[in-house]
Chain A
């Protein structure tokens, strides 16, 4: 299945090469398309991604198209490389001292590793929300949201006010905090802190939101609020979520990718993966009959 997809990908690329002249930039518009997503462009693309921590290889030739304005869930057992993969997507992998990386990752049609790309800009366009909410504990709610803009030198009070309201509204937090914007970020509940982190990511010119187990530290009510929010954000953003909760993957995503031992085993429409997966390993994992 994966091989088939890779093969089709190759053929598709071959077809467009003559048009791109020297082939200096790879075209991705004609890449393989999963059923039901014919109109969605590829937002991010992992191309033969391998990653190491010291001597240990964590990812093996991962090829993956992430379509825009869709939620892609990455599932797999602990240590399968799913967090490593999404940390590659915004160049956080390279912040680990012993980390190595080969292959390429495209954002739109540009490589995020190209010399023109500033890693800081990449991380602004491809934001990340972590398992444990990470607001700046002593900063106020207001300052937490605009911290990115301030670092970029935005000082205009009116602009900042607007961004705060807009981002908090988008993160479905505004109604709960609009009267206490000066309270410390740490004073919020876990679920609210997580949504504050999402608002902080939205305040800059975000395009892709990476979420690494965003709900595993939250109670069911906060979880459902975050899931609802993911659903809303999908209208405007591309989202990649790593989760151990299979029901969550099934609920929130349109595409599901299953990883095992650093390899991408299956990547298909969520409905297909959870009702009739193509690969026996996927079937065994999601039905809990692993190993």
Chain B
């Protein structure tokens, strides 16, 4: 009985990590489709979101089954409730990758507004945060997870800076507005990705230590 429960728990963990790696890849490719102006790639990203959505449902079903059949307690309970939250954060990140790819499709149709500098930089940090948050889940490492939370401000600042710069482009020439607005959205999506990565990291800390650090309660 206990053995099958443990097997199911590790199955759940594997499924979440599989989902995490798909989401990481989707964000990476969405950014590539934008920077390289590759619309074929963008469409591919939009297509492949279906896998992440299917995984979301599978993970939820696994969690429900484990809760109903085993009534887990203590660290097992914390793992499963965290898994359910991480699950929806990952699914949202997948959606944001789709949103970025959609903006890429629009932006690739018109001449570039400006060379990409800050947005790829921001994207790099956001992707690292996603990666490290998932690593902290694998290693059950709250120290690693804490580092993810600390980087969120960096991304928020970049987002503010990017928006300020793009607004100045808009003020300069009304012809820039549409493109600048699309780029602002991309920046905002990346900022949201970093927020979800932070949520994942916070859930990992709760899962490992039973400590809720959300909303500056840590």
Contact = CB atoms under 8 A, between A and B. Distances in A.
Interface of A: 246-247, 250, 274-277, 282-283, 286-289
B5 A276 contact: no
A287 B74 CA distance: 7
Nearest to A286: B73
B112 interface: no
Please give me the 5 A-B residue pairs with the lowest Cβ-Cβ distance, nearest first. Answer: A276-B210, A286-B73, A287-B76, A283-B74, A274-B73
Given A275-B78, A276-B74, A288 B5 contact: yes
A276 B210 CA distance: 6
A288 B2 CA distance: 7
Contacts of B10: none
B72 interface: yes
A289 B2 contact: yes
Interface residues of B, number: 13
Interface string B23-35: 0000000000000
A286 B75 CA distance: 10
Given A275-B74, A288-B2, 17 more contacts: A246-B71, A246-B73, A274-B73, A274-B74, A275-B73, A275-B77, A275-B210, A276-B74, A276-B78, A276-B209, A276-B210, A286-B74, A287-B72, A287-B76, A288-B1, A288-B5, A289-B2
Interface of B: 1-2, 5, 71-78, 209-210
A283 B210 CA distance: 12
A177 to B, nearest CB: 34
Main secondary structure of the interface of B (DSSP, over half): helix
7 contacts: A250-B73, A274-B74, A274-B77, A275-B73, A275-B77, A287-B74, A288-B5
Contacts of B75: 283, 287
Nearest to A284: B74
B44 to A, nearest CB: 43
A282 B75 CA distance: 11
A247 B2 CA distance: 17
A283 B77 CA distance: 11
Contacts of B77: 274-275
Contacts of B209: 276
A22 B192 CA distance: 67
Contacts of A246: 71, 73
B202 to A, nearest CB: 15
Nearest to A283: B74
Contact of A247 (B1, B5, B71, B76): B71
B73 A287 contact: yes
A256 to B, nearest CB: 11
Contacts of A250: 73
Contacts of A287: 72-76
Contacts of B74: 274-277, 282-283, 286-287
Contacts of A289: 2
A283 B74 CA distance: 6
Contacts of B76: 287
Nearest to A277: B74
A32 B217 CA distance: 26
Nearest to B71: A247
A246 B77 CA distance: 14
A288 B1 CA distance: 10
Contacts of B1: 288
Nearest to B211: A276
A100 to B, nearest CB: 36
A286 B76 CA distance: 10
Nearest to A288: B2
Contacts of A282: 74
